[in-house]
A and B are shown apart, each in its own frame.
Chain A
Amino acid sequence: MPERRYLGKRIKRREDLRLLTGRGLFVDDLSLPGTVYAAFLRSSYAHARIKSIDTTRAEKISGVIGVFTGEYFKDKVQPLMTAWALTGADLKPIKWPVVVHDKARFIGDIVAVAVAEDPYTAYDALEAIEVEYEPLPVVTDMEEAVKPGAPVIHDEAPNNVAFTWRLTGGEDFDSIAAKADHVMRQRLVNHRLIPSAMETRGALAHYNASTGELTVWVTSQNPHVHRLIMSASLGIPEHKLRVIAPDVGGGFGSKIPVYPGELIVSRLAMDLGRPVKWMETRKENFMGTHHGRDHITDFEVAYTRKGEVLGLRVRTLANLGAYLSTAAPGVPTILYGTMLSGPYKIKSVDVEVKGVLTNTTPVDAYRGAGRPEATYLLERVMDLVARELGMDPADVRRVNLVEKAPYNAVTGLIYDSGRYREVFEEALKRAEYSKWREIQSKARKEGRLIGIGISSYIEMCGLAPSRIARATGFGLGLWESAVVRIHPSGKVTVYTGSHPHGQGEETTFAQIVAEELGVPIEDVEIVHGDTAQTPFGMGTYGSRTTPVGGGAIALAARRVKEKARRIAASLLEARVDDVEYSEGKFYVRGHPEKQVTIQEVALASYTADKLPEGEEPGLEATVFYDPENFTFPYGTHVCVVEIDKETFKPKILRYVAVDDIGVVVNPLIAEGQVHGGVIQGLAQALYEYAVFDEAGNLLTAGFNDYMIPTAIDTPNVESYFVETPSPHNPLGVKGVGETGTIASTAAVVNAVLDALSHLGIKHADMPLTPYKIWEILKEKGVKA
């Protein structure tokens, strides 16, 4: 293999210069001549019938252009429905009106819209709108919601169950349980989180009445999907709708769905004949943009006295909030249930998930989406089994880890490639696991609380292929597209259907293309985010951008190179087979002095007078790439914590991550993804939690109350990679965007609970804040 110039190199992110110097261009930076501003009145109650709305006072305020209610939008904008209509799960057709007209179902529901010349006036107008509500009984708790007699949120789902999804794989659980030495039951709560991207959501819409073209700038992870859904809901044909997602300040899944906001401003731009803009306030973002996780699970695990985990029966309630968001049904099912064998040789998995509707903010994909929930469950299982058997948690994992890939999990997935056991041992070695066990036992004698947690995970990512996506009821395929265009001067523009928004692919994609084409990386520009420029693509989520989007780009680059080789052969008057390529130059094998540069070939492709017979002018290729399978990154993380004996504050002493993400395109960026991911996952373990009161008000509706850890709170994350190329895509990459989040929650919780294990604590639900730890010990009557 020739020496690599770009792939695998620690190249700094090219996007950082503009982002860090304030030269990024976000939706809120944009404004067109004549722009007016929309503000949304959100419901005062989590569940209430709307009896009347009086807008007269608001409309009289100087500068107010209009106030619009649900009646106005009812027939103009189709309500939102989920795009992941799970097959075979009795999914109820839940509709989400963009502005509610009959009743509000959560505190983020939009009841009226004020449009004014400036945002200040629009918010003044909201205060002058008089709404008469008839409050209805509220249910926020999933277990209450499914009880008979609970308040009904949607008539279409009389028991508040939106779907029931079941997967059974391998041997029957009851028969395997009968053979097992032990069966243990446990209840786990995986609490609700709020994605809280740095940039809130918003949109600016412009309608040209002469051409009938609507252009919408929106904070989206997937502009093409946004266009498709918005086109259907607004009744504007796709070719007249252009969606542009400029720089996007993080999403973590929360900018995948289409929400009412972008539809409202689009419709109003058409009706008012002026550009309409709306940008969420932070409080609105907390209340109205979707949340993540929120499972209650009861499981049974059958295992042998040697620690072999034979089977799992899992019954999960997944809180979906008041409506079914765009991808919501797939998250606690396809992305969770199928992952319940993890990196282990489990012989039986029987999982049933009920999607429950409550008077809370809708729940959808949040970094890791389903896979952190599965990993958390499995890694708690491993530790609990170890506890019951008096084994070292590392040994229980050793008994259960998959030996080699490809591996057919009983849930139906085929793991691509990996050295699961080697990576596990490497993580333990790097973290000095045995040494920490010794330190722990000494520390215990001094009354100190030190704990060690392990988390081994595998994740299904590179979300594709279409065949499988469609079989699960997903509304679209899951391929990706790319155009690689070499201009007459030899410079390269790449158009991708992916939409990186913080992950660094403007850099890594340029590395891939520069490597494939042998051109300087500075000569490659990556264009994304504009439906008028880029081919249809599915977007950036599910750690799919590099494996699927990057795969498409690599294939397009190779196709362009082949065409260039044919043209070069014609210029060099040689046979195509005799023409070789290296570092930007084509030459005739054995005659290196006979050469043309890629730039010369590019120009020739456009002057078009010396093309081979039948060759089209121009030098570009378009590829639509649908991989044959998912990719399966995996790894082992080890965390060491010490709990302060007086304040009960846990402190992470060591955090080691060893991940196999396949070929690492850029270690600097990959490590950054691991760092961020680990911190986002440990945030759930120790800090973040969303709380609704009984009336359905969100008590954690700001950064004051919703505890996102800061740089000061977070540990040094030691990140290492092992590279086993994935056979499923042209680059051998697997994806790294979510690994950290998937692994770390369990690693940290296991560590904290391990620190308390000698005090008789087996399990406690997250978040393990100092107060929670204090309370657990107090309940146990333990004086630490």
Chain B
Amino acid sequence: MYPPSFKLLVPQSLDEALKMLAEHGGEAKLLAGGHSLIPLMKLRLARPAYVIYLGKLKELSYIREEGDTIRVGALTTHSEIESSELLRERCPLLAETASKIGDRQVRNMGTIGGSIAHADPAADYPAALVALEAEVVLKSVNGERAVKVSDFIKGPYITDIDPQELITEIRIPVVNGAVGSSYEKLVFRASDFAIVGVAALIVLGKDGTAERVRVGMTGVAEGPVRAQGVEEELEGKKITEEDIDKASKKASEGLNPPSDIRASSEYRKAMAEALTRRALIKALSEAKKKA
């Protein structure tokens, strides 16, 4: 597990990092928590000529609520997200999702920007972020742009990022009112990537009808997907458990999840349904408490 040689660059500011990217772009890799990149380098599957270490850019580590948006800096670690009072209060789905990533060591090192940039098809955040309709903010020397997470992740380990760009933050629209959410993750062994992960969000109106239902899934496709059939089935209803039982069956509609040495595609489909049901039941009971 010895990587080929590379040159390490340590920018002291975001601007400096962007300049380095502009110069070395295609030959460089950004290093955040290192928990995805370093294993790949040790296996010689990633062979960057330059590694740009982002650890000094404290300016990219924050969690803030501004207007109707929650902004999470790209270098914020999973454990900071998990334990953030603000998120637990205003966006518990993201905090809960972070708490279910890997183990404590992974959460202490790994960052949300790194996770989104890496785009592992079984990563946890993407399920929550598509349910939350979040955006990724990208910056380069040429300027800044924001892309929906659902558009940003194109496939397994493939994203819509330019070699000169860096992820600076994740923007999540604040959801107010009687909101309930839950992230359900199935692993065969603690601290593994998800076999299937399902994030559910329900917003109830004053009369108890579901104004908004969002279901994001990971592990079942090339990237995160929304279970739109489930959402449509439930929105506008005064949801009962029976409704959830019925709607969850649609979670696997149109899916063709991967098969591997752990589990078959069919099992993953069955689990997408089972976890959708669980996540929705929890989300509903949370939302009802706030109604």
Contact B189 A709 (CB under 8 A): yes
Hey, which chain B residues are within 8 Å of A124, CB to CB?
4-5
Hey, which chain A residues are within 8 Å of B263, CB to CB?
769-771
Contact A771 B274 (CB under 8 A): no
- Please name the residue on chain B nearest to A120 by beta carbon: B2
Hey, which chain A residues are within 8 Å of B2, CB to CB?
39, 119-120, 122-123, 281
- Measured CB to CB, the closest approach of chain A to B38, in angstroms, equals 13
- Measured CB to CB, the closest approach of chain B to A221, in angstroms, equals 24
A691-B261, A710-B103, A769-B262 in contact; A774/B267 too (CB < 8 A)?
yes
| B43 interfacial contact with A, CB 8 Å | yes
Which one of B43, B188, B262, B275 lies within 8 Å of A283 (CB-CB)?
B43
| A687 interfacial contact with B, CB 8 Å | yes
| B226 interfacial contact with A, CB 8 Å | no
**What string of 1s and 0s marks CB contacts (under 8 Å) between A681-704 and chain B?**
000000100010000000110000
| B270 interfacial contact with A, CB 8 Å | yes
| A16 interfacial contact with B, CB 8 Å | no
Contact B188 A775 (CB under 8 A): no
Q: How many pairs of A and B residues are in contact by the CB < 8 Å rule?
A: 64
Which one of B44, B195, B264 lies within 8 Å of A775 (CB-CB)?
B264
Contact A710 B189 (CB under 8 A): yes
- Measured CB to CB, the closest approach of chain A to B42, in angstroms, equals 8
Contact A713 B261 (CB under 8 A): no
Hey, which chain B residues are within 8 Å of A700, CB to CB?
261
- Please name the residue on chain B nearest to A284 by beta carbon: B1
Beta-carbon contacts under 8 Å, A260-296 to B: 281-283
Hey, which chain B residues are within 8 Å of A687, CB to CB?
188-189
| B191 interfacial contact with A, CB 8 Å | yes
| B186 interfacial contact with A, CB 8 Å | yes
| A468 interfacial contact with B, CB 8 Å | no
A120-B2, A710-B190 in contact; A646/B264 too (CB < 8 A)?
no
A373 CA / B287 CA spacing, docked (Å)? 52
Q: How many residues from A make CB contacts under 8 Å with B?
A: 29
A708 CA / B189 CA spacing, docked (Å)? 8
- Please name the residue on chain B nearest to A772 by beta carbon: B263
Which one of B3, B103, B191, B262 lies within 8 Å of A771 (CB-CB)?
B262
| A174 interfacial contact with B, CB 8 Å | no
Beta-carbon contacts under 8 Å, A118-137 to B: 119-120, 122-124, 127
A775 CA / B2 CA spacing, docked (Å)? 40
| A647 interfacial contact with B, CB 8 Å | yes
A647-B271, A710-B103 in contact; A699/B261 too (CB < 8 A)?
yes
| A712 interfacial contact with B, CB 8 Å | yes
| B29 interfacial contact with A, CB 8 Å | no
Beta-carbon contacts under 8 Å, B262-291 to A: 262-264, 267, 270-271, 274-275, 277-278
Which one of B103, B195, B261 lies within 8 Å of A705 (CB-CB)?
B261
Q: Is the interface of B mostly helix, strand, loop or mixed?
A: loop
| A11 interfacial contact with B, CB 8 Å | no
A120-B5, A283-B1, A647-B274 in contact; A770/B188 too (CB < 8 A)?
yes
Hey, which chain A residues are within 8 Å of B191, CB to CB?
710, 712
- Measured CB to CB, the closest approach of chain B to A714, in angstroms, equals 9
| A649 interfacial contact with B, CB 8 Å | yes
- Please name the residue on chain A nearest to B196 by beta carbon: A647
A346 CA / B191 CA spacing, docked (Å)? 45
**What string of 1s and 0s marks CB contacts (under 8 Å) between A206-220 and chain B?**
000000000000000
- Measured CB to CB, the closest approach of chain A to B165, in angstroms, equals 29
**What string of 1s and 0s marks CB contacts (under 8 Å) between A570-588 and chain B?**
0000000000000000000
Hey, which chain A residues are within 8 Å of B261, CB to CB?
691, 699-700, 705
- Measured CB to CB, the closest approach of chain A to B266, in angstroms, equals 8
Hey, which chain B residues are within 8 Å of A771, CB to CB?
188, 195, 262-264, 267
A119 CA / B271 CA spacing, docked (Å)? 45
A501 CA / B252 CA spacing, docked (Å)? 50
| A234 interfacial contact with B, CB 8 Å | no
Beta-carbon contacts under 8 Å, A82-127 to B: 119-120, 122-124, 127
Hey, which chain A residues are within 8 Å of B188, CB to CB?
649, 687, 707, 769-771
Hey, which chain B residues are within 8 Å of A646, CB to CB?
274, 277-278
Contact B1 A282 (CB under 8 A): yes
- Measured CB to CB, the closest approach of chain A to B110, in angstroms, equals 15
- Please name the residue on chain A nearest to B274 by beta carbon: A646
Which of A39, A119, A712 counts the most B-chain CB atoms under 10 A from its CB?
Answer: A712
- Please name the residue on chain A nearest to B262 by beta carbon: A771
Hey, which chain B residues are within 8 Å of A709, CB to CB?
189-190
- Please name the residue on chain B nearest to A683 by beta carbon: B189
- Please name the residue on chain B nearest to A710 by beta carbon: B190
Hey, which chain B residues are within 8 Å of A39, CB to CB?
2
- Measured CB to CB, the closest approach of chain B to A670, in angstroms, equals 27
Contact A281 B1 (CB under 8 A): yes
Contact B189 A713 (CB under 8 A): yes
Contact A707 B189 (CB under 8 A): yes
A709 CA / B191 CA spacing, docked (Å)? 10
Beta-carbon contacts under 8 Å, B50-64 to A: none
A769 CA / B271 CA spacing, docked (Å)? 14
Beta-carbon contacts under 8 Å, A639-661 to B: 646-647, 649
A699 CA / B262 CA spacing, docked (Å)? 11
- Measured CB to CB, the closest approach of chain B to A318, in angstroms, equals 23
- Measured CB to CB, the closest approach of chain A to B264, in angstroms, equals 7
- Measured CB to CB, the closest approach of chain A to B280, in angstroms, equals 13
Which of B186, B275, B277 counts the most A-chain CB atoms under 10 A from its CB?
Answer: B186
Hey, which chain B residues are within 8 Å of A775, CB to CB?
264, 267
A123 CA / B44 CA spacing, docked (Å)? 10
A281-B1, A771-B267 in contact; A713/B190 too (CB < 8 A)?
yes
Hey, which chain A residues are within 8 Å of B5, CB to CB?
120, 124
* Interchain Cβ contacts under 8 Å between A and B, 30 examples: A39-B2, A120-B2, A120-B3, A120-B5, A122-B2, A123-B2, A123-B44, A124-B4, A281-B2, A283-B43, A646-B274, A647-B275, A649-B188, A687-B188, A691-B261, A705-B261, A709-B190, A710-B103, A710-B189, A710-B191, A712-B190, A712-B191, A769-B188, A769-B262, A770-B188, A771-B188, A771-B262, A771-B263, A771-B264, A771-B267
Top 4 closest pairs, chain A to chain B, by CB: A712-B190, A771-B263, A646-B274, A123-B2
A interface with B by C-beta (< 8 Å): 39, 119-120, 122-124, 127, 281-283, 646-647, 649, 687, 691, 699-700, 705, 707-710, 712-713, 769-771, 774-775
Extra pairs beyond A647-B275, A712-B103, A771-B262 (5, CB < 8 Å):
A712-B190, A770-B186, A770-B188, A771-B188, A775-B264
B interface with A by C-beta (< 8 Å): 1-5, 43-44, 103, 186, 188-192, 195, 261-264, 267, 270-271, 274-275, 277-278
